Every structure is written in C-alpha cells, then in structure tokens.
Structure 1
Amino acid sequence: MTFIKVIGCTAMILASVTSAIAQGTGSEGIFQIYNNTNSNVVVGFYTNDGSGWSDNWLSEFLDPGESAQAEFTAESGSCEQTFQVGWLGEDDEEILDDPIDIDICSASNVYLDDNEIYYD
C-alpha cells in the first residue's frame, strides 16, 4: 500500500476538509484512492472546487492493486468537488479521464476500475 499526502493543492481545495470533518465523514478527513485496474497505472489525481484544478495529489504512481491515502487539512470549504484521474499512456504521456463530480463530505473512497470510476 502506498501512502501519499496532499501536495501542492490550492487553498480552496484544501479548504474542503473542515466540512468533511465537521460532518463526521467515514474517515474523518481521510480520503482513500484504490487502483482496481488490471494493468493501468494512475499518474495523476486532480480536484476542482470551482476555482480551478489542483496540482497533482500523487507523489508516486499508483500501480494496479495499490491504494493511496490523502488527508484533508484545511478549515473550511466546499463539499462539492470534481476530480479527474491521469493514466500512464504510451511514451509516458498522461491521459486524462473524464471529470467526475463527488461530494467529499459523504464519500471517503474512490475506486478506479478498468471501465468505471466510482466512490462511496
């Protein structure tokens, strides 16, 4: 299991934590990302609360079968976020998946499957 810390996120992205913690979400501000694919490598994980895309949250690639953990640390912010996943493509290029909306105040896990991305 690979553990990551939120890095380079904007103040607004980090601000989302308090709402999640205040509402007592499943992991009290901890967000887990699971790469459940058979052969795809995750190279990027980005969020957007309406003020623009964050920097990449991942400090390391996330191989198939691995998971990563991020902890929100800010004091206020929006529960409504959009996230986007970057996959390793040919020639080491990053291929961005379609953005997905998420309510981080009620969800604390993101599952990246071969043909589906979902959260709970």
Structure 2
Amino acid sequence: MRNLIGAAVAVLVVAGSALPAAAGSWTFGLLNNTGETITGFRTKEDGAWSGNWLNGKVAPGDEFEMDFGTAEGECVVRTQVTFADGSYFDYDVDYCQVSNLYVYDQEIRWD
C-alpha cells in the first residue's frame, strides 16, 4: 500500500511540475550573429510558411525577444531566416530546447 501511495504522489508531483511548462509558450532570445540585418523569421507548418514573426528588423549584434504564444505542436520546426540583402536560408530548430537562438551565416544554433 505504501508503494502505491508513493507512486501516486510521484505521478502527481511530475504532472504538477509539467503543467506550468504546458501552459506557457515558446519564448526565447533571437540573436543576430551575422553581418546582415535580419528582416524575416518564418516557420513552416503543414507544408506552408507562416507570416513573418518579426515586427521589425534585427540588426547585426542585436537581440529580439521572440514569443510564439504557444508551446504546443512539434518541437522540431523548419525555420527560415531572411536578410536585408534578399538572401535567406532555412534550418530545422528544436524549439523545446531553445532559450536563445543564435543566427549565423547559413546556420542556427541554440542553448
């Protein structure tokens, strides 16, 4: 009986600790580590690109606070970054692991 109660408490503790994360949203810092201004940031879902998540531009060396407004859906999302010179690239990003998203020339890294 003690083992059953202990297991039930452990499940409640784990479930309770997961609730705030599920209720939150994917928020992270977008850091521009390139020599170009970032003008576009789009994600791909169901085969189509989203609208631009940026409401401005991110100059070289600047940071922009991103908030997707949800933490639901697939963790790994194809992401496109567009620059002021018209160049762009896309990259698979695991948003469940992102605190900061670092944009480099042709590459995105995160921590």
Paired position in structure 2 for 1:96: 88
Question: 1:22 Cα deviation (Å)?
Answer: 2.3
Alpha carbons of structure 1 residues 82 and 40: separation in structure 2 relative to 1, 3 Å? same
User: Counterpart in 2 of 1:42?
Assistant: 38
Aligned length: 93
CA contact (8 A) 1:49 1:78 kept: no
TM-score (normalizing by structure 1): 0.64
Q: Which runs of 4+ in 1 moved over 2 A?
A: 21-24, 113-117
Would you say the 8 A contact 1:23–1:105 is kept in 2? no
Q: Higher helix share goes to which structure?
A: 2
Larger proportion of strand: 2
Unpaired segments of 5 or more residues in structure 1? Answer: 1-20
Distance 1:75 1:111 in 2: 20
TM-score normalised to structure 2 length? 0.69
Of residues 33, 50, 59, the one that matches 2:55 is 59
2-side partners of 1:69 and 1:100: how far apart?
A: 19
Unaligned 5+ segments in structure 2 are: 1-20
Matched, 1:106 2:109: no
User: Rg bigger for which structure?
Assistant: 2
Q: Which residue of 2 aligns with 1:86?
A: 82
| Structure 1 Cα separation of the partners of residues 104 and 71 of structure 2 | 32
- Provide closer, same or farther for how the CA distance between residues 40 and 79 of structure 1 changes in structure 2, counting only shifts above 3 A: same
Q: Is the 8 A contact 2:40 2:54 kept in 1?
A: yes
Which has the higher relative contact order, 1 or 2, with Cα contacts under 8 A spaced 6 or more apart?
A: 1
